[in-house]
Structure 1
Amino acid sequence: MKRQLAEKSGREGETRAAMWLRAKGWQILDRRVKTAAGEIDLIAKRRGVIAFVEVKWRRRRADLDHAIDEYRLSRAAAAAEAVAHRYALDGEDIRIDVILLAPGSFPRHIANAWQP
C-alpha cells in the first residue's frame, strides 16, 4: 500500500513538473522512458536544448534538500545517454535537469544538475 501511494505521488509530481515546464516554454517530448540503466521521468525541449529531467516529490519542503544525490544523478545520466540519440536529432545540446517539488512551494528547477 505504501509503495502504491509513493507511485501515485510520484506520478502527480511528474505531471506538475511537466505543467510547470510547459508554462516556462518547454515542449514535453516524452514521459517515464524506461531504459536498462533506469527510468527518465520527463524529456523536454526548448531552444536547442534537450533536458532529461529527474523529478523528486517530497511531502515536506525540508526533505527536498536530500532528495537528489550523486548516485541518483549518475543513474539519470546513464539512462539519458542510452536514449539521447532518439531525441537530440538536430545537434541539440543535452543536459540532466532536476525539478524538486513539495506542497506549498514553487518548483525548484536545477538546470544542468549533472556535470561529470
Structure 2
Amino acid sequence: MSHKRKAAENVGRRAEAKAAWWLRLHGWRIMDQRVKTPRGEVDLVARRGGTVAFVEVKARKSVKALGDAIDEYRLRRVAAAVSILAPKYAPNGEDIRIDVMLLAPWRLPHHLPNVWHGG
C-alpha cells in the first residue's frame, strides 16, 4: 500500500471512530464497522430502537470540501451494499435507512439522516 493510500486509510478510520462516538452519544448502538460486500462497503451499521442506519462516513480537510464528499454514485454503492446486508442487520422488519456523517477538522460531526430514497 502506498504511503498516500495508507495516510488516507488512517484518516478514514479516525473519521469512522469519531462518527461512531457521535452516534453513541445520541443513543445509537454500533452494530458493525467496515462491512464489505461484493457491491460496496458500509462504514458503520448503527441501531436505535426499531431503526437500523447504514452510515457512510466522509472526512475532508475543510467544511467547504464536504459539499462534494457525497454524491449519487457513492450513495448508490452504499444502497447496493445495504440490499445485501439488510436481512442480516434488520431481520425483524426494522426500519432501515442510509445516513451520512460528514467530518471536518475542528467541527462537530454533521449527521444527515435518511439521505437515500432510491433512484
TM-score (norm 1): 0.98
How big is each residue's C-alpha offset from its partner over 1:26-83, in whole Å with a ceiling of 9 and x where there is no partner? 0000000000011110000001000000000111111001100000000000001111
The residue that corresponds to 2:36 in the other structure is 34
Question: Distance between the aligned counterparts of 2:67 and 2:106, measured in 1?
Answer: 16
Aligned residues: 116
Q: Structure 2, unaligned stretches of length 5 or more?
A: none
Consecutive unaligned residues in structure 1, runs of 5 or more: none
* 1:17, distance to aligned residue in structure 2 (A): 0.2
Spell out the pairing of 1:56-95 with structure 2 (5 A cutoff): 56-95=58-97
Deviation at 1:106, TM superposition (A): 1.3
Q: CA shift at 1:19, angstroms?
A: 0.4
Match status 1:44 vs 2:46: yes
Secondary structure of the residue that 1:59 maps to in structure 2? coil
Aligned equivalents of 1:82, 1:98: Cα separation in 2: 19
Is 1:53 the counterpart of 2:49? The answer is no
Secondary structure, counterpart of 2:67 in structure 1 = helix
- After superposing on structure 2, the runs of 4+ consecutive aligned residues of structure 1 that deviate more than 4 Å are none
Give the counterpart letter for 1:60 in structure 2: S
Partners of 2:4 and 2:92 in 1: CA distance: 42
